[in-house]
Structure 1
Amino acid sequence: MIVCHCRVVTDRDVADAVQAGARSVAGVCRSTGAGRDCGACVFSLKRLVCEHGTTLVAPVPDVLPEVDVAAS
């Protein structure tokens, strides 16, 4: 399926970009060229990146470890 009509980028191209190391929508855009023209495909790119198991933002732990600033 074509995801970006401006650059003719398919869902397979997006999956390949993620498999090759793209870890965000911006990374997929850099890798494939998608999302650089009209931007209509950005929501589809986000959905596909999420479907391929990639987090868009690193999770923040509920409790941060204590750090002794004086010892640093």
Structure 2
Amino acid sequence: MYICSCNALTDADVAEAIKEGAHRPAEIYRRRGCCAQCGGCVRTMLECLRAGDCQGGTRS
């Protein structure tokens, strides 16, 4: 599922960045070679970070 439609980041992309050590949305973007666009996905990324993965995340 897409978490960030602006950058085409999927739940798997976000989960991988978290496994690599990302602790903030900005670090997720950086690890995936992009940056925030509209910011609509930040809330979902924060939920993923709190959970430690992106299972059951909502789409932005």
Q: TM-score range by the shorter chain?
A: 0.7 to 0.9
Cross-structure match for 1:25: 25
Cross-structure match for 1:62: none
What letter is aligned with 2:48?
Answer: L
Question: Which structure is richer in relative contact order (CA contacts within 8 A, separation 6 or more)?
Answer: 2
Unaligned 5+ segments in structure 1 are: 54-72
SS in structure 2 of the partner of residue 3 of structure 1: strand
Identity %: 33
Cα offset for 1:49?
A: 1.0
Alpha-carbon distance in structure 2 between the residues aligned to 1:44 and 1:22: 14
SS in structure 2 of the partner of residue 29 of structure 1: helix
Cα offset for 1:31?
A: 1.3
Alpha-carbon distance in structure 2 between the residues aligned to 1:9 and 1:25: 12
Cross-structure match for 2:39: 39
CA RMSD, Structure 1 to Structure 2 (Å): 1.6
> TM-score, normalising length from structure 2?
0.73
Cross-structure match for 1:48: 48
> TM-score, normalising length from structure 1?
0.63
Unaligned 5+ segments in structure 2 are: 54-60
Larger Rg: 1
